Amino acid sequence: MKSPITSDDSFTRSAGRQLARYAFIAVAVLVALMYSLNFVAGLTSTGAGGAAGAVDVENNEISIYLREEPPQMNSMLATDAVSGMVLGHVMEGLLRYDENDQIVPGMAERWEINGTRATFHIRENARWSNGDPLTAHDFEFAWKTALDPATGSQYAFIFYPILNAEAANTGQMPLDSVGVRALDDHTLEVDLAQPIAYFDKLVAFVTFQPVQEAFFNATNGRYGADADEMLYNGPFMMTSWVHGASLRMVKNPYYWDAERIRLDGINAAYITSDSNTLLNLYKDERIAVVDLTAEMLEGAMQQKWQLDRFMDGSVFFVDFNHREGRVTGNLNLRKAMFLAQDGNELVDRVIKLPGYLPAKSLFPVWLQGVEKTFREEYPAPESPYNVALAREHLERAKQELGLSEIPPLVMLADTSPVATISSQYYQEVFKRNLGLDIIIDAQTFQQRLAKMDSGDFDIVLSGWGPDYNDPLTFADLYASWNLNNRGRYNNPVLDSHVRVAQTSTDTKTRMDAFGEIQRILHEDVAYIGNYERGRVYATHPQVKGVIRRVFGAEYDYTGAYIETAD
């Protein structure tokens, strides 16, 4: 029943008209407000708003995205991939990785490494972005500052092969005692604690990049905080950095090999990690390159996009807790779990991400061996899926442990989508095939690491990314003294092979040692291989020469160029 008042149609009509008038005024005011705001914004705009398209042929520039704001542009302190990517474009060390991941000259035009003495000859035309000559002193300063305990650099350990570096970093010896000296402006001499086979590869790492002392001191502790608080020596230099929003790099006229660089500018116009947003930006021709997830692949194929894949270098695995008192210290239990899961099934049916490979070894497929790849010369041990055998091992494990049932195991994992789905897969197969109960303990990345350090887990979904292009970056992971060996696996035989690999300079001897390490880790089931991470990405049809890789800047746009129709 309508009340008498609401049935008052003429009132409703008049009131409705009034309301429409208000609505009109509201919209008009809003539009006027927007226009005036836009005008004001236009006056104050820095020009870096991402207005340009993916490819700007006229200015010879491309636009790209960054996954996150670079946390640290001070090369002595940087630890993450995004900072490493930007630093790889605006800075250059003594040596660098080329497009085939091989070491080529950078700031040093030539170098000799003989035993414990390495000598780098800095090129005459090496310049900073303000025109100052770049000298051997800039390297000596950067390395010693990074080693200074007061600097608190997390990556200081990467210098430890240098004589007295560790002692200086722990405050036991003065910085002057560190084995690095600039003999003159163009000669840098390094004394090593012992001969190492891969020192040239280490030197290409971000932490080894130069810093000019005078400029560093002039920034009053703000070195690397803003675009103008840095001095560049790489192919590009940063001209603007709007925190959280955008970052712009232009070609560095003082770069020694400027002819190699074909782009005049790179706009990192968007900073977000949302993969759908990035796909939309790519579709809207706002960014030149985009990574694809599994569900985007079909659409991309239909659109006939230029797709490529690459391995990003990281290996993921299930780590066991080998500490005293943990049932996972039992070899038969580990064997049972290893045999009860199927790596191929995990990658092909569960994770289903393009480019991923099952991790059959701790040593990923792309590592270089003596002549061919390491894995071609030292094939990964077979890993058959065998439930019957797995159950036998489980029975033996129960006898050895004196348990009628294995207690529920805590599986630590982080909260990323892949870790979540993988941990559920393992929970399911271990229950189905072995009757084991797995309790998943999902933590944020930081808290997972903290719990790993304190040993608060039975098994953990873990991973490792390489620091330098040598199998040792993976091989020493299970050495008893390595702090990254968070499951505290301890095997003196393995340790001795790691020592051989560390100290020998003969390639064949070292590769044999790595082969042995691969075999021992497999026989001991030190871990269960999970996957090697790969990525599939689409590139704008006009953009060529973008490099995706394991080492150095990743993405690498230093060799990129725009292909024009004519």
Partner 1 sequence: MWQYTLKRLIQGVITVWFIATATFLAMHNVPGDPLSGERAMSEAIRANLEARYGLDKPLTEQYFIYLGNFLKGDFGISFAQENRQVNDIIREHFPVSATLGILAVIFAALGGVLWGALTALYRNRLPDTIIMFLVILGISVPSFVFAALGQLTLVNLNAFFGVSFLPVAGWGTVSHMILPALVLGMGTMAYLTRLMRSSMLEIINSDYVRTAKAKGLPPARIFTRHQLRNAILPVITVLGPAIAAITTGGFVVELVFAIPGLGRYFVQAVQQLDYTVIMGTTVFYGAFLVFMVIVVDLLYGWIDPRVRLQ
Of 248-287, binders to partner 1 (CB under 8 A) are 269-274, 276-277, 280-281, 283-284, 286
Residue from 7, 102, 130, 154 binding partner 1 (CB under 8 A): 154
Task: Please report whether residue 77 would count as binding partner 1 according to CB under 8 A.
Answer: yes
Residue from 7, 22, 217, 348 binding partner 1 (CB under 8 A): 22
Task: Please report whether residue 217 would count as binding partner 1 according to CB under 8 A.
Answer: no
Q: How far apart are CB 471 and partner 1 at their closest, in Å?
A: 18
Q: What is the C-alpha separation between 471 and 510, in angstroms, rounded?
A: 9
Task: Please report whether residue 302 would count as binding partner 1 according to CB under 8 A.
Answer: no
Q: Which is nearer to partner 1, 40 or 104 (CB)?
A: 40
Q: How far apart are CB 63 and partner 1 at their closest, in Å?
A: 10
Task: Please report whether residue 16 would count as binding partner 1 according to CB under 8 A.
Answer: yes
Question: How does DSSP assign 81-105, residue by residue?
Answer: HHHHHHHHHH---SEEE-TTS-EEE
Closest by Cα among 496, 515, 501, 495 to 470: 501
Q: How far apart are CB 206 and partner 1 at their closest, in Å?
A: 13
Q: Within 10 A of 194 (CB to CB), how many other CB atoms are there? A: 11
Task: Please report whether residue 218 would count as binding partner 1 according to CB under 8 A.
Answer: no
Task: Please report whether residue 303 would count as binding partner 1 according to CB under 8 A.
Answer: no
- Which residues neighbour 355 within 8 Å (Cβ) at sequence distance 6 or greater? 309, 310, 311, 533, 534, 535, 536
Task: Please report whether residue 43 would count as binding partner 1 according to CB under 8 A.
Answer: no
Q: What is the C-alpha separation between 459 and 326, in angstroms, rounded?
A: 10
Q: What is the C-alpha separation between 363 and 31, in angstroms, rounded?
A: 60
Q: Which two tokens stand for residue 450?
A: 């903290």
Task: Please report whether residue 480 would count as binding partner 1 according to CB under 8 A.
Answer: no
Stated as kind and residue range, the H or E segment containing 525 is none
Q: What is the C-alpha separation between 227 and 252, in angstroms, rounded?
A: 14
CA 239 vs. chain centroid, Å, equals 25
Task: Please report whether residue 37 would count as binding partner 1 according to CB under 8 A.
Answer: yes
Site residues for partner 1, 376-395, by CB under 8 A, read: none
Residue from 75, 135, 164, 169 binding partner 1 (CB under 8 A): 169
Q: How far apart are CB 32 and partner 1 at their closest, in Å?
A: 12
Q: Which is nearer to partner 1, 59 or 444 (CB)?
A: 444
Task: Please report whether residue 242 would count as binding partner 1 according to CB under 8 A.
Answer: yes
Q: What is the C-alpha separation between 263 and 69, in angstroms, rounded?
A: 23
Residue from 223, 317, 356, 531 binding partner 1 (CB under 8 A): 223
Task: Please report whether residue 301 would count as binding partner 1 according to CB under 8 A.
Answer: no
Contact criterion met (CB below 8 Å) for 493 and 500: no
Q: How far apart are CB 133 and partner 1 at their closest, in Å?
A: 27
Contact criterion met (CB below 8 Å) for 555 and 361: no
The alpha carbon dihedral of 373, 310, 343, 488 has a sign of: positive
Q: Which is nearer to partner 1, 30 or 183 (CB)?
A: 30
Alpha helices in 463-542 (DSSP H): 472-475, 492-503, 507-523
Task: Please report whether residue 177 would count as binding partner 1 according to CB under 8 A.
Answer: no
Contact mark string toward partner 1, 103..142, x via CB under 8 A: ----------------------------------------
Residue from 43, 150, 388, 565 binding partner 1 (CB under 8 A): 150
Q: How far apart are CB 4 and partner 1 at their closest, in Å?
A: 9
Residue from 60, 151, 306, 504 binding partner 1 (CB under 8 A): 151
What is the total residue count of the chain? Answer: 566
Q: Within 10 A of 184 (CB to CB), how many other CB atoms are there? A: 10
Q: Within 10 A of 288 (CB to CB), how many other CB atoms are there? A: 27
Task: Please report whether residue 8 would count as binding partner 1 according to CB under 8 A.
Answer: yes
Q: Which two tokens stand for residue 109?
A: 């035009």
Closest by Cα among 93, 91, 100 to 123: 93
Task: Please report whether residue 31 would count as binding partner 1 according to CB under 8 A.
Answer: no
Q: What is the C-alpha separation between 522 and 474, in angstroms, rounded?
A: 14
Return the range that interacts with partner 1 (CB under 8 A); candidates 17-25, 96-104, 422-430, 493-501: 17-25
Task: Please report whether residue 444 would count as binding partner 1 according to CB under 8 A.
Answer: yes
Q: How far apart are CB 219 and partner 1 at their closest, in Å?
A: 10
- Which residues neighbour 219 within 8 Å (Cβ) at sequence distance 6 or greater? 225, 229
**Binding residue count for partner 1, defined by CB under 8 A:** 90
Task: Please report whether residue 396 would count as binding partner 1 according to CB under 8 A.
Answer: no
Residue type, 480: S
Residue from 250, 389, 449, 520 binding partner 1 (CB under 8 A): 449
Q: Which is nearer to partner 1, 15 or 294 (CB)?
A: 15
